[in-house]
Amino acid sequence: PGTRRRSATSSYGPCPRGTTGGGCRSDRTAPPRSATSYPARARTYFAGDTGLFDSMAEEVGPVDVALLPVGGWGPYLGEGHLDAGRAAQALERLAPRSAVPVHYGTYWPIGMDAVRPHEFHAPGDEFVRLAARRAPGVAVHRLGHGESVRLEVAR
């Protein structure tokens, strides 16, 4: 009772040949009864595997907490994904109370840890820096692996 689920369209990559910029759009939405859905007291947005798109704020709606991916499987992500810079732009559009950068420093291709380990940890720090410039009113919580944060949400 009183709990409402909302889903928004997502942007998925890779883009079909011949498309440029802005990521690809899909009309896929979360199923009405997803196994990961649960009643929450805060309006939480988990961007998942999506890119930045113009109507993001309108489709997502008001947000208390945004979980934004800032990295991926390697040092370079295509337009259909959020990196630290595009995630900071998304943060500015969404204007949540709090944000947590996610999806970085966890999947290391064989050999990359010896060659360029900074590529996997840097996106979290870069997002914090860019978010402070683009969305100074948002509390950003950069967590280490296994850490947690308790967020207070205004009622």
pLDDT score, position 34: 39
pLDDT at 95: 97
133 backbone dihedrals φ, ψ, rounded to 5°:
-80, -45
Rounded to two decimals, the pTM is 0.69
Mean of per-residue pLDDT scores for the chain: 75
Q: In percent, how much of the chain has pLDDT > 70?
A: 58
Task: Provide the pLDDT for residue 152.
Answer: 75
44 - beta bridge partners?
65
Give 83's contacts (C-beta < 8 A, 6+ positions apart): 70, 71, 72, 77, 123
pLDDT tens by residue, 116-132: 666 666 889 999 999 99
Q: At residue 30, does pLDDT exceed 70?
A: no
Q: Are 50 and 68 in contact (CB under 8 A)?
A: no
- pLDDT (tens digit per residue) in 40-94: 577 999 998 889 999 999 999 999 999 999 987 666 677 788 999 999 999 999 9
Domains of the chain, by residue range, sit at: 10-140
pLDDT digits (tens, 9 = 90+) for 9-23: 433 344 444 434 444
Instruction: In whole angstroms, give the CA distance from residue 118 to residue 108.
Output: 11
